Amino acid sequence: MEFGLFSNNRRFERTLADAWDRDIFEIVTADKLGFQEAWVSEHQTPAELIIAKAASQTSRIRMGAGVRPLGYYHPIQVALEANATDQLTNGRYMLGIGHGFHPKQMEWRGRDPKDTRAMVEASVELLLKLFHADGPVDYDGQFWSGKQMILQCPPVQKPHPPISIACSGSEGSARLAGKLNLGILTGDFIPVPRLRMFGDVCVEEQIKHGHKPTRRNIRSTRVVYVAESDKKAREDMRESYEKIIAWEIVNTPHHQSERIPKGGSLKDITFDYLIDTGNLFIGSAKTVQKRIEDHFELTGGFGTLLFHAGRDYATPELLAASMARFMEEVAPKVRPLDPDAHLTRVAAE
């Protein structure tokens, strides 16, 4: 298992400049501690701008767009910016792609939100043509067209930066990931049964299309915070996370709606409830280790655990201490978890 960040910037009490600087501080901290990767959400601006700034302050960590909503942009623009960011990071860039979740942003661009899924699939087709082309590309499709297209900026990683697709609701994106042998990105609010389904259908499509089956490129995101005791961890995180629950219920209710207890409502979602039900991995090193092991088993396995970041959890100092404690006390225990061990056994049988 590898470890990373999913920087989903929602620091609602700060200016954007301050919020982005704090995001970069978390990425720099992760880089120093040995985390393998960090994904940056595209909300107000393309993530590549933030990644380019973070690249100058880091040396090892891989960084990705989490994600580029493909319906917003011509595929050649996505490909050119991906390659440029790969150059600026010296080969540490990852391209995350998806549908986006705000219909208004499609309407801003004169697009019909109903076309989003079809546009994504068409965009992926053209992206891969551009990345693998030996010469100019002509393309005339329903949504995108272009003549004699050339990627004037080449990538560092060949034939292109690694690509992962966001999976949130239906199985369609997971099937596309399996078919094209792409990675999978998931948010912190995705329930366990759906995470398992994403992995199952991805593997099914990998086998169907002649790829080596693997769950290693699946990423699962959760809020993770480690302190010297369960009590201290809850104390450190309580005030900040209770503010986040209240903000999300009003502004992004889909982040909490699937956590509602049976027969209850959004009002029943509390900080302690989310910890007690395993939605948040908050506690001592021993507690967090157990949460991760259980999550890994229930989901069928994944290759990377992403820490939900980009929020004002606790304080910067406490968060940095938590990350350090995790890498020292928890990571060595869960790193050996192999998402493909079951697949290997099945294949041998």
Q: In which domain, by residue range, is 27 found?
A: 2-66+167-348
For the chain, the straight-line distance linking the first and the last C-alpha, in angstroms and rounded, comes to 24
pLDDT in the model for residue 349:
45
pLDDT in the model for residue 178:
98
Whether the upstream peptide bond of residue 159 has omega within 30° of 0, thus cis, is yes
DSSP one-letter code for 349: -
DSSP for 124-162, written as a single string? HHHHHHHHH-SS-EEEE-SS-EEEEE--SS--SSSSS--
Task: Work out how many domains the chain is built from and give that number.
Answer: 1
pLDDT in the model for residue 103:
75
Crossing angle between the packed helical segments 75-88 and 47-55, to the nearest 10 degrees:
10
In a domain, 220, yes or no: yes
In a domain, 87, yes or no: no
In a domain, 134, yes or no: no
pLDDT in the model for residue 179:
97
In a domain, 84, yes or no: no
Q: What is the pTM of this model?
A: 0.95
Q: Which is nearest to 1 in space by CA: 291, 324, 332, 344?
A: 332
In a domain, 287, yes or no: yes
Q: What is the CATH number of the domain that holds 337?
A: 3.20.20.30
Residue 339 amino acid letter: P
pLDDT in the model for residue 111:
82
Q: Count CA within 13 A, CB hemisphere, residue 33.
A: 26
CB atoms within 10 A of CB 260: 15
User: Mapping DSSP to helix (H, G, I), strand (E, B) and coil, where does residue 233 land?
Assistant: helix
Ranges under pLDDT 70 in the chain:
101, 344-349
Dihedral pair phi/psi, residue 226, rounded to 5°: -120, 130
Burial class (CB in 10 A: 0-12, 13-18, 19+), 239: exposed
In a domain, 284, yes or no: yes
Q: 207: which 2 tokens?
A: 């086998």
pLDDT in the model for residue 105:
76
How far, in Å, CA of 319 to CA of 237, rounded?
9
Alpha helices in the chain (DSSP H): 16-33, 47-55, 75-88, 103-108, 116-132, 172-180, 192-208, 230-251, 271-276, 285-299, 316-325, 331-334, 341-348
In a domain, 116, yes or no: no
In a domain, 39, yes or no: yes
